[in-house]
Amino acid sequence: MTAAVFFGCAFIAFGPALALFIFTIARDPLRVIILIAGAFFWLLSLLLSSLVWFIAMKASSTKDAELQKGLLIFGVMFSVLLQEVFRFAYYRLLRKANEGLAAISDDETSPISVRQMAYVAGLGFGIISGAFSMINILSDSLGPGTVGIFGDSQYYFITSALMTLAVTLLHTFWGVVFFEGCEKGHWWVICVVVCLHLLVSCMSLLNPMYEGSLPPVYAVTALMAVWAFFSSGGSLHSLSQLCTRKSAEVEAS
Amino acid sequence: IYSPRVLLRVKPSVNSLYLDVSGSSVEQKIYIELKNTVPCVRLLNATHQIGCQSSISGDTGVLHVLETEADLDWILSTGPHPPYMVLMEATFFTRPTMMRMKNSTRVAGVAVINSNTTAVESFSPHTSCPNQNTGVYREDYGPDLANCSSTVWNPLGNSMSYEDFTFPIFSLKDDNQTQVMRKCYEDHNMRVNGSAPQYPLCAMQLFSHMHAVTDTVTCMRRAEVCDPLSDFNVWASIRPINASAKGHKNNESVVIAAARLDGRSFFWDIGTSAEGTVSGIVTLLAAAHALYPVTQEAPPVRNIFFTFFQGETFDYIGSSRMVYDMKQDKFVINLDNVHSVLEIGQVGLRNGQKLWMHTDPVSRKNSTVDEEVINLVDNIKSVASTLNVSLDEPNTTQALPPSSFQRFLRVQPIPGVVLADHKSSFINRYYESLYDTAAYLNMTYPSDLSPEEQMEYETEASKVSRSARLPDQHCQGTYTSNSSYIGTKTFSHCISCSLSLSPSLFQMAKLLYGFLVRSNNSWFSSLLPPEAGAKGRSSILESGPPQYYIGLRQDNSVKSVTRFVQFVMANATGTVTSLNQIQCQNPNDVPGESKDLYSYHWVSGPPSANSTEGDPYCVRTSVRLAKALSPAFELPEYGSREYSTWTESRWKTIRARIFLVASPQLEMLTLGVGVTVLLVSLVLTYFISSKAELLFSSTHETPNTTY
């Protein structure tokens, strides 16, 4: 029976990422490469922050609860900042690569735009961070038990999956907005992205109130979705155009 | 070669500890691993499999505490969430209940809480006729006595240990853990006014998958599935016997003084067997202690050959092997050297009880044997009459109780007596069950004594305590019988017998303490070799009593009980030598010492006044170990009807854990949401990506313009 939970959670957490991959990434080898490299950069940031975490844990006494809580907050902050630093590093790398790509292509233009790269890189970050936060939980969701014997919420699995979904999408949107900010030299954009990332990550400090952190995270996701839409060249005009085209098509048929 | 085996055979408690550490944090949120669990495992013989097992991935069921008859009804018929995992107090662990569960498909497993207080009046999961098919009485030997047709030795026996259960059954120690389980049950599974409890429910999973199936013949054919039960017999003689020469010894006539070394219970590696086994071991050890100095001064006419047979519970593994080896001239003596046999059975004497001398009516039809037996019985009686113990003979047409002596009689008529505290059927109300403990023998200690004080307590308390009366009578009973047996009925002997009573009583207290309460005591550790008694990994001493289940000895290690008996015997019948450690290992280089006659052991020695470490020395003794592996595996005849064919199945994991299970509705909801999310995102992404040109109209222009 618990296979149902496994597949349910897997679909929730990775369904959208899978759909995006299939329809927007898989057909273009260059995008696949950028996606994988993005995931690699995120992994590098994880490696570094876990190193720091490891040292901090070894250096501190495990008995002091206050200190432990402080360390945890520090760890979360540090990890978020490190991720953003690596996102920036990846941006620099992609810019360089883009120039190279432009140089060797026939018409002196890169085969991929920076905005597209931003989206693909963001999705790479999102997929790998989602995978890392979800895989342990998924393997335990196979059962036979469910969370709750220590009084935790029984909706742990589904909320974790929904959270992973949000984080995957958020990373994609952040990627788009962040790169755009870098392109245009709008440092406040980068600041907002970092702050939102910090905010979302600090929601997890509210655990075990798993359900409680979902609405704010989804609010942020919605906001970021709109922002990313506009910063990647979408506009109300194009939206309305789409709608009218649609209605025109309907009328025509 | 054996290292994989060691890994497979990690004790359950160690196993669960390991898992505790390694589990992920999510796993720790879901599961509570149970420690101190002992499973019932599968044993096999030539024709059957007995015991329990789970499926390979563990059996799971909703937890239900069996407290009343109504609970049983709920579990077996009305409860809406089958299958159930039944948690019960030992009082409910009876054959009728278990058989009803066995015949139901609604039971996933059982966990029995093994509390220290004995709540049941009587309980014996063993058969009513122990070792029915491998004793001496058969079609061609006292057919009217075969199959316990004249006397049912263990009328309380319900044969539960010999049932084959298809679900796992675990024994849990009563501690905080069972409180946690109860709380989980009360919080989630308790019926409110008879209505079914709501999800999430508390559930339990038990892992005890057994690799072997059907019977020994089948499992031995497939490699690495089951192993024969085996260990070692311990033997020693008053006069040393050349152990390097096998077969008949001229001018050697021995009296075998025997007891058995093992017991069992329903569960694996729990076998307290206080009255069933330890009473006999301790009595024989005390007798050896008392007898040896006497015999050194006045050598007896016949040699006394002490043996402790291992695996007797499982169709006489140890004695059948020794008799087999004697017959094949592979043992230090052969059957013609055996003058007679005196066996100590269950002798948990309580106040006012008699000691009974059981003899074999069939072999006594032979007049020479009968004469010897009468002689023997009279000797024992006459010495006993001078002491405060009453001895008597049961009806002479009564068969022998289950005893190792029967294996000797199977081969040839030998005079012999089996001493026991029962006239016909056993007095022991807990034969081969986990209640046959020190408490059942009335061994209680004031709570404020330290372990070391407890060990020596009984001597001081001998005036008052009933428990102290027990070893007192033990000693008298056997000591007299043994000393009379060697045919020296002189005054000096009786005096030395009485004199030796007080040190023996002290000895008895220490023996009983070591074998029934706590093996990790200063006396035992002083008797053992430094590496075995040392505090640390290799120590075989435990804070509790040793367990008497024979088990398997794949890597040729010796069971702890066997080691204890070996070294207590070495202490009782050995002499301290001045050899150093290297000479002790190679005594043949030293003039006057012989490895053929004696074995040499480097032992820790008692702690001296100024240090806790003992002063080790070399002890020379006639004590030796002899393999106790059934001849059926030596021949090999796995389907043997003559010899024990008991094997224990191998297994990989023994685990138990509790957790909550979610309602099927919630599970389906999760799946539903998942599928919806997947489908919606597929459709949406397809739609957006196909319209991307339109939506993000500036996509391709922007890169160039931004520079």
- Summarised one tens digit per residue, pLDDT across range B272-313 is 888 889 988 988 888 888 788 878 887 888 888 999 999 999
**Interface pTM (ipTM) of the complex?**
0.91
Q: What is the pLDDT of residue B351?
A: 63
Tell me the CA distances in angstroms from A24 to A120, A222, A232, B688, one per residue in order.
9, 21, 15, 10
Flag if B673 and A15 touch (Cβ within 8 Å). Answer: no
Domain map (residue ranges) of chain A = 1-252
Please report, as a single letter, which amino acid is at residue B429.
R
Q: What is the DSSP letter of A151?
A: S
Please report, as a single letter, which amino acid is at residue A243.
C
Residue recorded with tokens 């939970």? A5
Phi, psi for residue B207 in degrees, rounded to 5:
-115, 120
Q: What is the DSSP letter of B164?
A: B
For the beta sheet containing B617-621, the strands, ordered from the edge strand earlier in sequence to the opposite edge, are B575-577, B617-621, B599-603
Cβ–Cβ under 8 Å, residues A191 and A199: no
Q: What is the pLDDT of residue B75?
A: 92
Compute the distance between CA of residue B428 and CA of residue B154 in angstroms, rounded to an integer: 8
Flag whether residue A109 sits within 8 Å of chain B, measured between CB atoms: yes
Closest by CA to B399, choosing from B644, B159, B642, B135, is: B135
Flag if B60 and A144 touch (Cβ within 8 Å). Answer: yes
Average of per-residue pLDDT across A180-192: 91
Flag if B659 and A149 touch (Cβ within 8 Å). Answer: yes
Flag if B703 and A5 touch (Cβ within 8 Å). Answer: no
Strand, helix or coil for residue B249: coil
Q: What is the pLDDT of residue B472?
A: 36
Sites in chain B below the pLDDT cut of 50: 1-22, 458-503, 699-707
pLDDT band at residue A248 using 50, 70 and 90 as cut-offs: low
Q: Omega into B299 within 30° of 0, i.e. cis? A: no
Flag if B678 and A149 touch (Cβ within 8 Å). Answer: no
A7, A11, A183: best mutation site toward chain B, by most B Cβ within 10 Å?
A11
Tell me the CA distances in angstroms from B522 to B174, B302, B447, B453, B607, one per residue in order.
28, 35, 19, 11, 8
Chain B: residue whose CA lies nearest to A143:
B661
Q: What is the DSSP letter of B278?
A: I
Cβ–Cβ under 8 Å, residues B311 and B230: yes
Report H helices in B486-580.
491-499, 501-516, 522-527, 530-533, 560-573
**Shortest alpha-carbon distance between residue B697 and chain A (Å):** 7
> Roughly how many angstroms between the first and final C-alpha of chain B, as a whole number?
71
In this predicted model, what pLDDT tens digit does every residue of B467-518 receive, in sequence order?
A: 333 333 333 334 334 433 333 332 233 333 333 344 466 777 788 888 988 8
Compute the distance between CA of residue B694 and CA of residue B437 in angstroms, rounded to an integer: 86
Q: Which residues from chain A sit within 8 angstroms of residue B669, using beta carbons? A: 8, 158
In this predicted model, what pLDDT tens digit does every residue of A210-241 receive, in sequence order?
A: 778 889 999 999 999 999 988 888 778 888 87
Query: Looking at the partner chain, which of A140, A149, A154 has a beta carbon nearest the beta carbon of B658?
Result: A149
Q: What is the pLDDT of residue A206?
A: 75
**Shortest alpha-carbon distance between residue A143 and chain B (Å):** 8
Flag if A5 and B662 touch (Cβ within 8 Å). Answer: yes
Q: Omega into B446 within 30° of 0, i.e. cis? A: no
Compute the distance between CA of residue A2 and CA of residue B486 in angstroms, rounded to an integer: 73
**Shortest alpha-carbon distance between residue A246 and chain B (Å):** 11
Flag if B674 and A239 touch (Cβ within 8 Å). Answer: no
Phi, psi for residue B49 in degrees, rounded to 5:
-120, 140
Q: What is the pLDDT of residue A44?
A: 95
Q: What is the pLDDT of residue B610?
A: 65
Flag whether residue A99 sits within 8 Å of chain B, measured between CB atoms: no
Instruction: Look over chain A and give the mean of its residue pLDDT values, rounded to a whole number.
Output: 88
Q: What is the pLDDT of residue B99?
A: 94
Residue recorded with tokens 């001296």? B608
Q: What is the pLDDT of residue B387?
A: 65
Cβ–Cβ under 8 Å, residues B561 and B261: yes
